[in-house]
Structure 1
């Protein structure tokens, strides 16, 4: 359904907004960059183990990181986000429609991802700073979506 991907993209933006500083730029850029590398691997049919479980784990984990307002160093956040981005990118890469050009397709999912990160950032910076409980509740909702997907409820 894409709900898993959308939830994670918004969660990255929310978490970056809650962290502030360099994370506002570094975490979304890390996701997009590593996602493009994963997409390339997928398009080349290079196997990456545990893609689907990794995607589902990313929904729960990033949701919890937001819900609990976990404050990690920017570099640790980049590593976590990068790992999950590899799985998301690989899934996009192996799903390239036959009639799509590779570069155009990759540009499309990179821009869509960046826009979803921006939506999460905007919500986090706009509401999350004044009402951090709302941003954290959105993280909880993301984790709940992940659990629902894992258990086949969604």
Structure 2
């Protein structure tokens, strides 16, 4: 299955334990991705959390499509990682590596996007990159409220 790897490093003005706690909670992902409008069916299991994330896509400015994706999230000592299974043959592995950086946190956001068809991979990769870059600003903006 073809894949593309996206990497972005950014700073968040909050300490790693606070950022880890935020990224370990399913409800935190609403709005953290500009596409995610809801999280439901949260299931906490030993070592991981599984949930359904609702991604809302807009086409032509008025047509909406809600894409239901299955998300697995695992908190580790170094950060948060997991997998996403989306309709249309799109799979995504993600990892948020957290490193202390002064009084804040350096985050290495790595996404591996896979899809069965090249055009689907290009579209999913482009959207994943847009979300990845937006997430950096959104998370940094949330920092004052994370403590």
Scaled by the length of structure 2, the TM-score of the pair is 0.30
Larger helix share, 1 or 2: 1
Identify which of structures 1 and 2 has the higher relative contact order when contacts are C-alpha pairs closer than 8 Å and 6+ apart: 1
Larger strand share, 1 or 2: 2
